[in-house]
Structure 1
Amino acid sequence: MIGIKTYIGNVYPLQFCHVAHAQLYKRSLPKWIQDEVISSSKTSPQERLKRIRQARLDLGYDNSPWIHESGLSIRPEPMSGIAARIIDPPTLHFHLPGHNSPRHSISPKNDTSWKGAWDVRARTFAVAGRIVNKVGLINFAGMKEQETQRFYRDLRSILHEHGIVIHDQNPFLQTQEPAGVDEEWLRHWVQYHPADLIIAILPTNAPDIYRTVKRFGDVEAGVVTQCVRHGKKFDNQYLNNLSLKINAKLGGVNNYASGLEIFQQKNVIVFGADVSRPAAGLQPAIASVVSSWDDYGCQYMAQISIQPPQQEIISDLQKMVYEAVRFYFSQRTKRELPLSKRLPGAILFYRDGVSEGEYAAIAKEEIGSIRRALQQVVVEISERFNLQPPPQIPKLTFIVVGKRHHIRFFPDILSPQDPMNAADQTGNCRPGLVVDRDVTNPTEYNFYLQSHAALRNSTSRSSHYIVILDAINISPDLLQSISYALCHVYARASRSVSRPAPVYYADLVCRRARFHFDTEVATHLDYASDASGDQPFNIEHWKSHFKDIHVGMKGMMYFV
């Protein structure tokens, strides 16, 4: 029977259901609609500035009696002459920092043509991921065998150029129809064809099989998986981009960025945190926390927790920070570092997705949770190793990163010389733009950083950084440089991105968390009804159907 299933299990036959007129669609739109919306919303800086000027005229501020009675006036032109500067991009190292070699570095300092992107072709990655002995190749898209083998051969060659060792020259190739493939099928397949890396070729639109493969690899088997979509042009550029993801998933580092050496010197852990709340229905909110465990803010472990819908405060943050610091300690213990170098000296915490009205609650609840976790770890380590006096509790700097604002910056290209050389080829401000006065909140420690190059025919939107707490006492210049450098170590791209890498990773982990639910409740995440608040939300029900990451993936960047 085809029907509508409610949250409590009742099913209404489709022939008795009617679609009400003019409903607001609150759930995620299909990807093809999202792509069309994004494409249609692209506006060049010149066109956007023109629309802003026109909007002022359309709103009729000059003729508004309320504006005049209030003694206010709206200037006809956008603010000009704002104090701003372009900070230097970091040097990118395709080797361990300190081992300088022009062949393995990209130094864009003082390069006014720098577009925030770099070419990774024929470059050896800074740290190659672990050696792969066996590869499983599953063709769900009906590609011809010869075409599939050529794709694998070309990919393996590109990976070899980057320093990644794949011993398997002729992997077992399975051509399989997607219908009927579930985790049990994959488990049986891997039992007879063990693999360190599973590459799945998917049809153009196959969200169900994608979820099945990812859940099996991340949650059930602890095997690295890489999905590719049939229909893509498997050219050199695509394969190089694919190699970025594969190397990171295998535990490698694609590149380092200068300016992050302070993490090694001061034993800093960098955190990124986000909460993904459902748009509709009785679905749980997903909280994610990622934390660095290497010396240069490039390798991260991920944690996930689920909590009641519409709750922004991360309820399990104390436990998550505690686990992150313990993992950091264990990794440094494996390296046999001195005991004084195993505990972090400072915590740099980037928090995404917080609105201005929630700053006070965040400061009270989440900062308190972090401090309690740090104290708990220090006390445990002190007692375990009989440290007298006990180590200092790591200092914390807590920063909210947001992009949901309406401020846009335009280069003063009307100036004859353009003294800052602030405009790029698209008419946007160049990457590295920092604005920390004039338009910022005068009562808060905050700044805007435009760290990425805009796409063609679009206007860049800077990220807004609000420092809620700065116990480390980082100077504004240093914090801005560190944040900018972190935008250059995002493992999925060979370009600087709009937010620090750990913030992006936290967002990716929230999205991937949907695959941790079993099939009994997974459909509710995509098609849950707009149930009213009359039905009680049972968080324990959702937790019982949620499974954490496989132990073999702990500390691995499976989510990139």
Structure 2
Amino acid sequence: MGELFQFLRARSRMTNNCQTAIMALDAIIGHKVSTLHVAVGRSFFTPEGSRSISGGAEVWQGYYQSARPTRDKMMINIDLSATAFYEGGRLVQIVAKILELRSPDDLRRGLSEREHQKVERKIRNLKIRVNHRAEARTSSKIERLTQTPASRTMFEKDGNTIDVATYFQTTYNMRLIYPFLPCVIVRRNVFLPLEVCDVIPGQRHMRKLDGKQVDEMMNFTRQNPTLRANKIRAGLNILDYRNDEYMQQFGVRVSNEMAMVDGRILPTPTIHYHPSSRDNRIRPAGGVWNLRDKKVATGATLGSWCVLAFLSPDVLPDHDIIAFVRELANTCQDTGMNIPNKNPPILHANPQGNIEESLKQAWLRAGNSAKAQPQLILCILPNTGQPLYAEIKRVSDTVIGVATQCVQNRYIRQTKKQYCANVCLKINVKLGGMNSFIDPTQIPFISDRPTILMGADVTHPAPGPGSDERPSIAAVTASVDAKASRYAASIRIQRGRTEIIADLANMVKELLKAFYQTCGRKPERILFYRDGISESQFGSIITTEIAAIKAACQALDVNYKPTITFVVVQKRHHTRFFPIDRRDADRTGNCPPGTVIETVITHPFEFDFYLQSHAGLLGTSRPAHYYVLYDDNGFNPDMLQTLSYNLCYIYARCTRSVSLVPPVYYAHLVTNRAKLHARGGPFSDTGSEEGGGAAVTFGVVKPELQRVMYFA
């Protein structure tokens, strides 16, 4: 413990003994509560106040706690936590919910092959108990479903062949209600009808939630700051540190009050639009503004394009599409783009048909109509389903090499100018335009000398059957102009669950060349923002990725040695801030945009800070944690904090400050887009649940798209 105290007082570096002491404290504070509640990592959960969500799952609320080294002392980070569990109770009820049926009575028609596969996938490895024998209390684990219903699932009994339904009738005098449903197999040749199985409560939902479940869970967990703070205080009563005999034995005492820290609010930057705009320079209030009386800084020209509606003319007539396109084209024109062709050709396609062929036909029609290289295909989708969207992006990005903009059918008939303006922002940057930029005097680090901003992220397959064979996807984005508003991207597929970017040197080299080709000069400074790194990986990052950036520069020119700053950006943490005085909060009760915390709860002596750069929307805002691992550029805290905050105002896809610096935000978008480039169906970050361990191959983004923001 002596070494830990020295570390906390900034008198020594982190040692193995320090790490062991922190791990010991984590074990001490978590031991008692883990014996009383369901523990998952550093969180524990209770079924009290749980809420059912779709698919036979339910959300349990709980608390996260972790021992954290800060300036001069150890602190405990406590926050609300939530995770999904399988609902307990009758398995047949769970099956009905998985299939989104009103009741088990709707199962009387039996299961289709697709429903059979879905149910089997969802209930595999669930622990159950039988309910037809009171003395049977042991649990069993579901391996799979039988291919035949209980009335036709046969097995050997005393030398005779008998079906499961008849066996239950003769042995237990139990006539099955659902003999037409399959049985679960719990061990070899042990078949149990669904209706005699009860799901044991308290089993964590290990598979990735679907979109509907995620939305339901978010609605449950979203808490305004006041409510969240009160629930955290209530959690202290459950944790009851003062009466924890294990903590008393080790002489550990914990305050029951939240830490009070000083914060400061950074000044709002000035955003520039085109000089011809009526309102060409603005300083947004509250981190939000709109495009009224503004024209984009550099408007792209859209002359060769086509509309491809994945709905029949009966469902979406051409006159509705024409009205929407007219409003969109006029909005784009008013916003500073040049739209010489306001009447693009309109095609209809079957969403279940050959998407690649439909897109190729649209590309040809666009080119033939305008007698020019096609620039954009505007796709109208019938719903928010992922498969159609994924195939559109795979084909347009990696097969044809044309920008696509997808819009939902529901927005076509009720056209709103604000919606069209948001679509315009995306189209403009996809075609090489620039929406806005920060006043150069407010970002001198970028404007004084040629400077490149980079952002990196790696996405991994989620746990699940077959996920070990799935690769990880690494993306690096980089600014390619003097205003740090336009970005290019580089993608690599690498071994699954590898966080270090394996081919970073070549990716950086590609992007340095892109900067040079656009600006005509080599960047003299590199500011690299890295997402997704945990503190335990910092040492590996310093020895590999920072070295790779330097190697990339040396490979271009042995004398090329730009100054480098490497900053880790963390969003997956449990630190939250609550304004003490309501007058210091924004309208949602959160800290206002630009709030910086750099004392008390930060590292004992290294360069890190928390920045809440966005305006609160719903719930409690999560600040980003910036941690400087390497700095050749001599940043002082205020310089890096101000630069990072100002950059959050020029995210291309919206007119509001965002929660992460754009280079990292764009890298995240690129990894998500790259998932859709898998050949033979979109890459699933839920693991290969249906396709076994089949190899996944990815298409490469066409060169004509690599230098524009096709991912916006």
Tell me if both proteins adopt one fold, taking TM over 0.5 as the criterion: yes
Counterpart among 296, 302, 314 of residue 125 in structure 1: 296
Shift, 1:177, TM fit: 2.2
Indicate the SS of the match to 1:553: helix
Q: CA deviation at 1:269?
A: 0.5
TM-score, scaled to structure 2: 0.68
The match for 2:229 is 49
Task: Map residues 225-244 of structure 1 onto 2, 5 A cutoff.
Answer: 225-232=404-411, 233-244=414-425
CA distance, structure 2, for counterparts of residue 526 and residue 186 of structure 1: 28
Shift of 1:24: 5.6
Aligned-residue offset at 1:475: 1.4
Comparing both structures, which one devotes a greater share of its residues to strand?
Answer: 2
1:189 Cα deviation from its structure 2 partner: 3.8
Offset from partner CA, 1:133-175 (integer Å, 9 cap, x none):
1220111133222211111110001000111111212211112
CA distance in 1, matches of 2:250, 2:490: 51
Q: Deviations over 1:429-483 (max 9, x none)?
A: 1110001111101132100000011114x11111000000011111110100110
Return the alpha-carbon distance in structure 2 between the equivalents of residues 65 and 189 of structure 1. 71
Tell me the equivalent position of 1:550.
Answer: 702
Aligned to 1:103, what secondary structure does the other structure show?
coil
Does residue 182 of structure 1 match 2:355?
yes
| Residues 323-368 of structure 1: CA deviation (Å, up to 9, x unaligned) | 11111112223xxxxxxxx111110000000011111111111111
Structure number with bigger Rg:
2
- 2:322 alignment partner in structure 1: 149
Distance 1:192 1:171, change over 3 A: closer
Contact 1:214–1:515 (CA<8 Å) still a contact in 2? yes
- Secondary structure, counterpart of 2:478 in structure 1: strand
- Of 354, 358, 366, which aligns to 2:533? 354
> Aligned pairs, how many?
510
Counterparts in 2 of 1:218 and 1:288: CA distance versus 1, 3 Å: same
Give yes or no for the alignment of 1:276 onto 2:459.
yes
Q: What CA distance in whole angstroms lies between the structure 1 residues aligned with 2:613 and 2:508? A: 28
Whole-Å Cα distance in 2 between the matches of residues 102 and 484 of structure 1?
26
Instruction: Pick from 291, 294, 304 the counterpart of residue 134 of structure 1.
Output: 304
Provide the aligned C-alpha RMSD in A.
Answer: 2.6
Name the amino acid aligned to 1:434. V
Partner of 2:581: 413
1:375 counterpart = 2:557: no
Q: Tell me by how many angstroms 1:294 deviates.
A: 0.3
Matching residue's letter, 1:437: T
Counterpart secondary structure, 2:420: helix
Counterpart of 1:15 (choices 143, 147, 163) is: 147
d(CA) in 2 for partners of 1:524, 1:65:
46
Find 1:426's aligned residue among 588, 601, 605. Answer: 588
CA distance in 2, matches of 1:26, 1:531: 18
Map 1:151-170; keep pairs closer than 5 Å.
151-170=324-343
Q: Distance in 1 between matches of 2:684 and 2:235?
A: 41
Residues 24, 513 of structure 1: alpha-carbon distance in 2 compared, 3 angstrom cutoff: farther
Q: Which consecutive residues of structure 1, in runs of 5 or more, have no partner in the other structure?
A: 6-11, 109-113, 334-341, 380-389, 415-420
Write the letter of the residue equivalent to 1:251.
Answer: G
Identity %: 36
What is residue 104 of structure 1 aligned with on the other side?
280
Indicate whether 1:399 and 2:567 are aligned: yes
**Matching residue within 234, 246, 261 for 1:66:** 246
- Report the counterpart of residue 37 of structure 1 in structure 2: 217
Equivalent residue, structure 2, for 1:528: 688
Q: Is the 8 A contact 1:424 1:430 kept in 2?
A: yes
In 1, distance between residues paired with 2:185 and 2:483?
A: 54
Equivalent residues of 2:452, 2:479 under 8 A apart: yes
Q: Partners of 1:274 and 1:453 in 2: how far apart?
A: 24
What's the CA shift string for 1:525-550, capped at 9, x where partnerless? Answer: 56613999xx8xx9xx54xx222110
Letter in 1 for 2:303: N
SS for the counterpart of 1:204 is: coil
SS of the equivalent of 2:352 reads coil
C-alpha spacing 1:188/1:135, structure 2 compared with 1 (3 Å): closer
Counterpart-to-counterpart distance in 1, 2:438 and 2:683: 41
Q: Is the 8 A contact 1:181 1:209 kept in 2?
A: no
Q: Secondary structure at the match of 2:569?
A: strand
Q: What stretches of structure 1 move > 6 A for 4+ residues in a row?
A: 1-5, 19-23, 99-102
Counterpart contact for 2:328–2:420, Cα < 8 Å: yes
- 1:398 & 1:254 partners in 2: Cα distance? 27
1:500 to 661, 667, 671: 661
Residue identity matched to 2:226:
Q
Q: How far is the alpha carbon of 1:193 from its aligned partner?
A: 3.8
> Offset at 1:377?
1.4
Task: Point out where structure 2 has 5 or more consecutive residues left out of the alignment.
Answer: 1-112, 119-143, 149-181, 187-198, 368-373
| Structure 1 pair 500–14 and aligned structure 2 pair: CA distance change class (3 A) | farther
Distance 1:101 1:221 in 2: 36
Match of 2:438 in 1: 257
